[in-house]
Amino acid sequence: MENITVMVVEDEAVIGMDIRNTLQRLGYRVPPVISSGEKALEKTAEIQPNLILMDIILNRGQLDGIDTAKMIRDRFNLPVVFLTAHTDTHTLDRAKQTQPFGYIVKPFEERELQTTVEIALARYKAECEMQKALEKERELNELKTRFVSMVSHEFRTPLTTIMGSTELLQNYSHKWSDEKKNIHFNRISTSVQHMTQMLDDVLTLGKSESDCVRFQPKPLDIVSFCQALIEELQVNYDNKCTIDFRVKTNWKGEDFPILDDKLLRQILANLLSNAIKYSPEHCEIRFELEYRDRDLVFTIADNGIGIPESDRDRIFESFHRCQNVGTIQGTGLGLTIVKKSVDLHGGTLEFCSQEGEGTTFTITLPCS
């Protein structure tokens, strides 16, 4: 009970002090008694008590206990127990509208007060847990909806491409040159790679959500790692954009940083892929690596479509895609995976963006 704060709102000083002393004797933490509804609202905002014991008739100020309880419920969603000598129907009906957690009629015994307070606290805790469970269920349902929407949308295009190219090859390959055949074979291969990547993203997210992903750092030749990744991405995206890789560090070659190469690949590959996908052709992607205060700092900047302000609070949510992506393919999982991989490293992830002008991501990872 030492950490339970019960605030008493009572305009009769003697009664208020008696209640406060009783509650303190029972082990609750009780601030000085409040004598008006207006002061009760002010103090509730300040100290956020676990429970408020509210006298219904408050002769000081403009608010009575019932009006004050309603405002506390609406603004702070905290439990209120009424203390009153009034049991008439009209008062009870008004009190019930505020959904109180108890109603104690004066005079009352110490045991009755303790029982009412404990039951009110237990009920409030149960309601909060129920609310959290309902919110979690709502989030899961929303996640399922997004997943189904993503799968139905993102799989339809590559499957249509595969089906179309396959039918054309079946019906006309005997008339086509090898060059024309290869065009359709490449389309099929690209579509399969796209669907495979989507499935890999979903599996990676599932593992991270279930805590199956482990942080396994080891010495890593970070410069060679980044250079190999850049070469791979340039091939995959047919050199759509140039990646300007710059190393700003003075560590010695044999003194490699300690990082998880698999998680780092998830971070850099997703951010660089996004920079390429959402930028116009033949543009330059800036990719910088800096060693700063025993941290590795990666900066990836593009001149692409940018992130709309309305989407910036949600870009790390699973399956969320910005409203300006148009027909550019994607699962809405890349940045979610990036965030989780950075968190596993114990690092930080920041970004700044201007719609229509580009985005810069800065990742800071401890490397020793």
The pLDDT assigned to 70 comes to: 92
Q: What is the mean pLDDT of each run of 10 residues along the chain (368 residues)?
A: 86 90 92 93 94 90 90 92 84 85 87 92 91 80 67 71 88 87 85 75 66 80 91 82 86 74 90 91 92 88 92 85 79 84 92 93 89
| Sheet arrangement for strand 242-248 | 242-248, 284-292, 295-301, 358-366, 348-354
Both tokens of 100, joined, read 């109180």
Domains defined along the chain, listed by start: 6-132 (3.40.50.2300), 155-209 (no CATH), 218-366 (3.30.565.10)
3-state SS record for 229-251? HHHHHHHHCCCCCEEEEEEECCC
Calpha distance 137→64 (Å, rounded)? 38
Tokens 């509650």, residue located: 23
CA distances from 124 to 72, 196, 322, 361 (A): 14, 47, 38, 42
The pLDDT assigned to 98 comes to: 87
Length of the chain counted residue by residue: 368
The pLDDT assigned to 7 comes to: 95
The pLDDT assigned to 206 comes to: 67
The pLDDT assigned to 95 comes to: 84
The pLDDT assigned to 44 comes to: 93
The pLDDT assigned to 301 comes to: 95
The pLDDT assigned to 138 comes to: 79
